[in-house]
Structure 1
């Protein structure tokens, strides 16, 4: 997928989500609008899913990235939010047990534990966001 493949609706939806985001990681917003050309290949989305107590996060075991939040490539014509929803629904349904993609087991992981990932900052970022969610929900 190249820059030309992203339609205007996808770019606008991604930009709107960046404006609404509580935190922005790795310069995502700047990358999105760089030189006014929009995103380049690949556009991906991930989902941070917490249990009701905000004590555990849903992770999948990727073959070379280690334990990471569910996510993946955004398909042509799909917004990042639509892509995130699709990726999440491939493994999680509130009425069913977790069913992971082949070779990528899914598990609820305690936020009190570190997990092996090629993104070492993920665990602290996820914990920080869970604390923020807890503070906001307590108001």
Structure 2
């Protein structure tokens, strides 16, 4: 049984509300810098108490970092940012992006073999881990 994306997002909103957190909403990630600046500014105006952003992936996190900088905010002092997927660019910017590293290759092999009904016994997976960098840790890790 599969669950549609809309229903999963609805469940996330319910979970966020139950935890007194801001629901994720359904936003398309900004493509251009001006769009990112406007999206982050609008979000901050309506959610002033938010102190951290966990982005969908490192690309969105990097756009968020740029927008926060353009708006005169300091990361992580004003707001912390974390990405997901550990792209190489995250370590090259200032502040360096905190991210979640996963073994995407092994996860992909596992998913493909499972979908095809093949044996998954020989696949070794590493657990995901948070790479703490400056964007989520005032004063550095």
Please give the range of the TM-score, normalised by the shorter of the 2 chains.
under 0.3
Between the two structures, name the one with larger relative contact order (CA 8 Å, sep ≥ 6). Answer: 1
Of Structure 1 and Structure 2, the greater helix share is in: 2
Q: Given the two structures, how large is their TM-score scaled by the length of structure 2? A: 0.27
The structure whose Rg is larger is 2
Q: Given the two structures, how large is their TM-score scaled by the length of structure 1? A: 0.27
